[in-house]
Amino acid sequence: IKRVTTHQLLAMKQRGERISMLTAYDYSMAKILDGAGIDVLLVGDSASNVMAGHETTLPITLDQMIYHAASVVRAVGRAFVVVDMPFGSYQGNSSEALRSAIRIMKESGGHGVKLEGGAEIKDSIIRILTAGIPVMGHLGLTPQSIYKFGTYTVRAKEEAEAQKLLDDAKLLEELGCFALVLEKIPSALAKQVAEQLTIPVIGIGAGPEVDGQVLVVHDMLGITQEFKPRFLRRYAELGDLMHQAVTQYIGDVKSRDFPNEKEAY
């Protein structure tokens, strides 16, 4: 199996082949997703919510992201692995951003990093790109800024915010980002961005007219059951399945059905 590269992702956009991307935070899950042929795995800072149970993505640390990313990288043979830079590891100044990105690359073996924001973090992006580290942008709903927005509702519905997003998207491409995630914005705006950029645009809640799609894997598998935004399609009800399996196991232990003679030495 050949590894997916940033060049191949660009070629996929050029020939109109949609890019598939999912989050992953651990070895066992990543092995299944990579085996199924996913193009890109994102070690998202959504690990803060999904893995650690925090309300927001803000608390997760660089060390914790590196732990998740290293676990994913050990499982992967084909997918391109992108690692989210956590809140506080790149916004302060570009030297700290570069140091954080280098730690991620060295200590996890990931193939690239993702940062939230546009013009505000331009210097950090330039420093990281100059070191030869592929950078994926992230615009629209940027959960690390949740306390600025106040809600997780759709972004860039107003003309001014839409124009800033378009400008930021073009800036990210000019700087040299290899791809861009657009989260929870109107489909028409996402389509416009994807048409105007040559780099692949990956959407989550950004409609069908972009170059690829990403979802949080625990959401699309039905493991996280509370979270049901309109953009989410559930491909399985693993939460229900796991509940059934565990209920059965408990019953079997209580009734002494498990283990039987064949399951003992």
Residues lying near Na ion in the complex (CB under 5 A): 44-45, 84
User: Cα dihedral angle (82, 88, 92, 97), rounded to 10 degrees?
Assistant: -30
Site membership for ligand KIV, residue 45 (CB under 6 A): yes
Only segment of 38-46, 91-99, 184-192, 252-260 that touches ligand KIV (CB under 6 A): 38-46
- Distance set, CA 234 to CA 21, 218, 227 (Å): 15, 10, 11
**Residue 100 in contact with residue 89, Cβ under 8 Å?**
yes
100 is in an annotated binding site: no
Nearer to ligand KIV, 120 or 252 (CB): 120
Among 97, 181, 189, 220, binds ligand KIV (CB under 6 A): 181
For the segment 15-34, give every residue that binds ligand KIV (CB under 6 A): 23
Q: Which residue's Cβ has the minimum distance to ligand KIV?
A: 44
Q: Which is nearer to Na ion, 84 or 168 (CB)?
A: 84
Say which residue the tokens 């650690």 belong to: 52
Beta-bridge mates of residue 204: 183
Report residue 114: phi and psi, to 5°. -125, 135
Determine, following the binding rule CB under 6 A, whether residue 214 of this chain makes contact with ligand KIV.
Answer: yes
What phi, psi does 242 have (nearest 5°)? Answer: -70, -40
Q: Which of 6, 20, 46, 213 binds ligand KIV (CB under 6 A)?
A: 46
Q: Are 129 and 105 in contact (CB under 8 A)?
A: no
Query: Mask: binding to ligand KIV, 50-79, rule CB under 6 A, as x and -?
Result: ------------------------------
Instruction: Give me 151's structure tokens.
Output: 């809600």
Whether residue 168 is annotated as binding a ligand: the answer is no
Q: Does 84 bind ligand KIV (CB under 6 A)?
A: yes
- Binding-site member from 79, 169, 204, 238 for ligand KIV (CB under 6 A): 204
Cβ atoms within 10 Å, residue 139? 26
23 binds, among ligand KIV, Na ion, none (CB under 5 to 8 A by kind): ligand KIV
> For residues 87 and 238, which CB has a smaller minimum distance to Na ion in the complex?
87
Residue 96, marked binder: no
Segment 30-37 long-range contacts (CB within 8 Å, at least 24 positions apart): 30/71, 30/72, 30/75, 30/76, 30/79, 31/75, 31/76, 33/79, 33/217, 34/75, 34/76, 34/77, 34/78, 34/79, 37/78
Q: According to the annotation, is 114 in a ligand binding site?
A: yes
Binding residues for 3-methyl-2-oxobutanoate: 45-46, 84, 114
Binding residues for Mg(2+): 45, 84, 116
